[in-house]
């Protein structure tokens, strides 16, 4: 018997249409992806109804309810002059974030490495009176303590809504064997330990406001990438820290979000003067045997990686800004954001691909053409080794 031959059938279809329409209206502001998901759900529900009216209606209604609940959590909370702290506000993504959040109406505390630097001065000149520039070297416990005191003094009873750990260093990409231990330590000191210490200092304020902790890591923290052993390891540590804190802070009502951007053009790589110093640092710390095996030409060619990264990175950091905004303002923020081209795909490949397949993809389809160390270009030495 046709499902359309009874009043009950028509009633079920009418209710289903109302549910589906409500979900579609709800997801108008969620972009094309949400619409596609809902349309797929509607199609699946129609197929189910053609098989079994009752169970099709039940399952489809449950689907609509789940999607509606999920989309309801994406609603943005009002700004209401909420206060946020951003580290690394001198330049790059942190600088852009300070301006963006200020424009949205937040009270912004811009932590900078150089309080009298050009980046800090630009923030003072271009942003509203709500923005405060704080001297904040996140590897300096005294400066963290001082920044905390200034934040508490200004926010008073309003509290601090969000901490955005953005400050980071990359240094010169190179083979892991070539990277000096000081560079490993500096990456960990800034990218991991600094973020942890800032988090610990401001967590009492976040617990009080039931606010947000947003850690900006990197795609390199979840995807093994050649020449980024120091940087990637520090970002991987920050990634795991974020996951653990997300679980531990949920009982306090604090939501933790991790942002793993792809390639965006910032000045984290520095300029040619910085590269010269980093190259000299590498050469000065290499044992003679290692320098002989790799060859000075190979070591000096490492700066080509920076040129490649700069060439293929996006100058438009707005995807990162929008994701951080969502992490700070959404009623139910996501645990992970992956702004940038193909970032989520690479994270999935690194997690689920067989190792041999993933390594083959990286070797043949990612990065600049790789030079060979001196010893590997000399067949007679290879045989001796």
Catalytic residues, by residue number, are: 231
Q: Computed from CA positions of residues 77, 82, 83, 89, in that sequence, does the dihedral angle turn out positive or negative? A: positive
Phi-psi region of 258 (alpha: psi -120 to 50; beta: other; left: phi over 0): beta
For residue 247, give the H/E element and its range.
Answer: helix 229-249
How many CB atoms are located within 10 Å of the residue 14 CB? 10
Q: If you count them, how many residues does the chain have? A: 385
Q: Tokens for 221, please give them.
A: 């923290």
- Helix/strand/coil for 84: strand
Pairing of strands 255-259, 132-135: unpaired
Exposure letters 141-164 (e unless 16+ CB within 10 A, then b)? eebbeebbeebeeebeeebbbbbb
Tokens 């709500």 label which residue? 130
Select from 105, 106, 112 the least CA-distant residue to 84: 106
Q: Tell me the C-alpha distance between 4 and 365, whole Å.
A: 55
Task: Report how far apart the first and last C-alpha atoms of the chain are (Å, whole number).
Answer: 81
Contacts of 253 (CB under 8 A, 6+ apart): 207, 210
Q: What angle do CA 75, 42, 72 make, to 5 degrees?
A: 10
């Amino acid at each position: 018997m046709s499902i359309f031959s009874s009043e009950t059938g028509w009633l079920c279809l009418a209710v289903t249409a109302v549910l589906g329409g409500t979900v579609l209206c709800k997801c108008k502001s969620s972009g094309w992806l949400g619409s596609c998901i809902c349309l797929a759900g509607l199609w699946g529900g129609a197929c189910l109804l053609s098989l079994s009216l009752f169970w099709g209606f039940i399952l489809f209604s449950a689907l609509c309810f789940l999607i509606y609940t999920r989309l309801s959590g994406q609603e943005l909370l009002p700004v209401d002059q909420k206060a946020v702290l951003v580290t690394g506000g001198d330049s790059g993504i942190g600088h852009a974030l300070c301006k963006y959040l200020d424009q949205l109406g937040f009270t912004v505390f811009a932590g900078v490495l150089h309080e009298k630097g050009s980046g800090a001065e630009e923030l003072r000149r271009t942003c509203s009176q709500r923005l405060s520039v704080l001297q904040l070297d996140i590897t300096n416990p005294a400066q963290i303590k001082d920044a905390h005191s200034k934040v508490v003094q200004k926010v008073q009873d309003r509290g601090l809504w969000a901490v955005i750990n953005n400050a980071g260093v990359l240094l010169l990409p190179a083979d892991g064997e070539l990277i000096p231990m000081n560079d490993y330590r500096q990456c960990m000191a800034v990218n991991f330990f600094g973020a942890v210490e800032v988090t610990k200092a401001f967590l009492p304020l976040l617990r009080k406001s039931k606010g947000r902790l947003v850690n900006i890591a990197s795609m390199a923290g979840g995807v093994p990438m050649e020449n980024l052993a120091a940087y990637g390891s520090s970002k991987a540590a920050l990634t795991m820290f974020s996951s653990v804190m997300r679980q531990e802070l949920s009982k306090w009502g604090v939501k933790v979000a991790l942002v793993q951007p792809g390639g965006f053009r910032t000045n984290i790589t520095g300029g040619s003067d910085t590269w010269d110093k980093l190259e000299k640092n590498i050469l000065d710390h290499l044992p003679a045997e290692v320098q002989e095996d790799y060859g000075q030409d190979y070591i000096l060619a490492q700066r080509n990686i920076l040129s490649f990264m700069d060439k293929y990175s996006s100058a438009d950091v707005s995807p990162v800004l929008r994701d951080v905004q969502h992490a700070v303002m959404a009623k139910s923020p996501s645990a992970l954001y992956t702004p940038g081209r193909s970032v989520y795909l690479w994270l999935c490949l690194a997690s689920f691909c067989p190792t041999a397949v993933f390594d083959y993809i990286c070797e043949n389809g990612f990065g600049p053409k790789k030079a060979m160390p001196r010893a590997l270009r000399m067949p007679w030495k290879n045989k001796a080794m």
